[in-house]
Amino acid sequence: MNASVPHLAASRVGTPAARRLVVHLVYSLGVGGLETLLVDCINRMPAERYRHAVVCLTGYTDFATRISQPGVELYALDKPPGLGLATHGKLWRLLRRLRPAILHTYNLAALEYAFTAAMAGVPVRIHAEHGRDAGDPQGLNPKHNFLRRRLVPFVDRFIPVSEDLQRWLKNVVRIPAAKTQFIRNGVDTDRFAAAGQAAATGSPWGPSDFVIGTVARVQDVKNHRGLVEAFVRLRELLPAQREHLKLSIVGDGPLLPALREQVAQAGLQDAVWLPGARADIAALLHTFSVFCLPSLAEGTPVSMLEAMACGLPVVASRVGGIPEVVSDGEHGFLPPAGDREALALALARYAADPALRRAHGAAGRARVQSGFSMATMLSDYTALYDELCGRKLRQPA
């Protein structure tokens, strides 16, 4: 178990004891939409009300340095592959030492530790479902759903981040309605703005290029392989524009080496940019002409909300919570997941019609401003914390 990020750990001196501690439990802390939301919540939640610690079942990366809230401690439990039963003991001992008011877990990998937290005397346990994985895009795995139902007594509230996930928890997993609360993901529409951002450094494309861009962790559920295949098809559909069709795939992940090999085998090194993880996403989005997310499964993707806030039209799979945000033909286009031809045709429409790009991009920004703000998300989480602490901290242990 490792205390981490020295400047964060050192700043805990003098932290007021009256503030309630929230321990956030995640599988790992690296670049990703869920992780971005977690860091934003920690940094922006009212500091006089709650303090925070982050516990990673496995480990963390330099992404952790984005936590700017003073006094935040970071721990890694170094869980091995498989069951890792000893990890329950590590977490139990850590929770007994930290004595948090709330354990907030994220996605299936962390859910079982709600039981450990209950045994350690943590009064409030909250679990957030941010999406399903490629191996089970409909969330039908009987073992996983049985586990979710068995843990209902140890979870005070399940948080789906999309209406699709809310319906799934109710109708498929069969979580009681009283145990769920829908909280939409939100983004900073001032930081991710339609204009006025500084230029990103290092982008190889020019102002006359049509740039298809995506920002996502490079893993199977995001279907980057399908995006590259659709890009090849797009170049076939638009031979006159071939030299100006470009693809930017921003993000790191376990499949990045295989993706680089796919691009090389297709002879696309001069048309596809794979810079890995980047810290200047808000500026980099302004080098894109259209944002593309061909995922096989999703909750409410943060990167897509950020792109829409920047005024970009969207081409994304019709899965999960995406249709709740993007209306087909109004803010973007929603081809079926895994349909390479439909994806290429949707991108071709934007390549051929700059006015359509501008109209859908403006409508998308208005959509995010009205329904997916950071302020609303933070208010909802703070109110939930207040409600459960106010009720449960008055009860006997």
Burial 130-162 (b: 16+ CB within 10 A, else e): bbbbeeebebeeeeebeebeebbebbbbbbbbb
Tens digit of pLDDT for each residue in 73-85? 999 999 999 888 9
Of 40-54, 129-143, 147-161, the poorest mean pLDDT is in: 129-143
Compute φ and ψ for 342, nearest 5 degrees: -65, -35
Q: Which two tokens stand for residue 341?
A: 């031809």
Rounded to whole angstroms, the Cα distance separating 339 from 151 reads: 37
Average pLDDT over the chain, rounded to an integer: 92
pLDDT higher than threshold 90 for residue 134: no
- 213, 177 in Cβ contact below 8 A? no
- 77, 58 in Cβ contact below 8 A? yes
The average pLDDT across 381-396 equals 89
Confidence of residue 30 (pLDDT cuts 50, 70, 90): confident
The average pLDDT across 31-58 equals 93
pLDDT computed for residue 124 by the predictor: 98
Q: What own/partner pairs with CB < 8 Å and gap ≥ 24 does 198-207 have?
A: 198/283, 199/283, 199/286, 199/287, 200/278, 200/280, 200/283, 200/284, 200/286, 200/287, 201/280, 202/275, 203/248, 203/273, 203/284, 203/287, 204/246, 204/273, 205/246, 205/248, 205/273, 205/287
Would you put residue 71 in left (φ > 0), alpha (ψ -120 to 50) or beta?
A: left
Domains of the chain, residue spans:
2-186+374-392, 210-371
The average pLDDT across 228-233 equals 98
Query: What size, in residues, is the chain?
Result: 397
pLDDT computed for residue 8 by the predictor: 34
The class (CATH top level) of 210-371 is alpha beta
The class (CATH top level) of 2-186+374-392 is alpha beta
Rounded to whole angstroms, the Cα distance separating 68 from 52 reads: 11
Compute φ and ψ for 380, nearest 5 degrees: -65, -45
Tens digit of pLDDT for each residue in 340-351? 999 999 999 999
pLDDT computed for residue 17 by the predictor: 45
pLDDT computed for residue 397 by the predictor: 45
Higher pLDDT, 10 or 224: 224
Rounded to whole angstroms, the Cα distance separating 324 from 300 reads: 8
Query: Positive or negative, the Cα torsion across 248, 217, 52, 107?
Result: positive
Query: First-to-last CA distance in the chain?
Result: 27
The average pLDDT across 176-204 equals 85
Would you put residue 196 in left (φ > 0), alpha (ψ -120 to 50) or beta?
A: left
Of 100-114, 127-141, 344-358, the poorest mean pLDDT is in: 127-141
Give the three-state DSSP class for 136. Answer: coil
Higher pLDDT, 195 or 186: 186
pLDDT higher than threshold 50 for residue 358: yes
pLDDT computed for residue 3 by the predictor: 42
Q: Look-up: residue for tokens 């392989």?
A: 225
3: which strand partners? Answer: 75
Q: Which two tokens stand for residue 238?
A: 């638009």
pLDDT higher than threshold 50 for residue 13: no
Give the three-state DSSP class for 295. Answer: coil
pLDDT higher than threshold 60 for residue 1: no
pLDDT higher than threshold 90 for residue 11: no
Q: Which two tokens stand for residue 200?
A: 């990103």
Shared fold status for 2-186+374-392 and 210-371: yes
Whole-number percent of the chain with pLDDT over 70? 93
Tens digit of pLDDT for each residue in 277-326? 998 999 999 999 999 999 999 999 999 999 999 999 999 999 999 999 99
pLDDT computed for residue 294 by the predictor: 97
Rounded to whole angstroms, the Cα distance separating 276 from 256 reads: 8
pLDDT higher than threshold 90 for residue 10: no
Q: Which two tokens stand for residue 359?
A: 């109209």
pLDDT computed for residue 279 by the predictor: 85
The average pLDDT across 25-44 equals 92
pLDDT computed for residue 199 by the predictor: 59
pLDDT higher than threshold 60 for residue 198: no
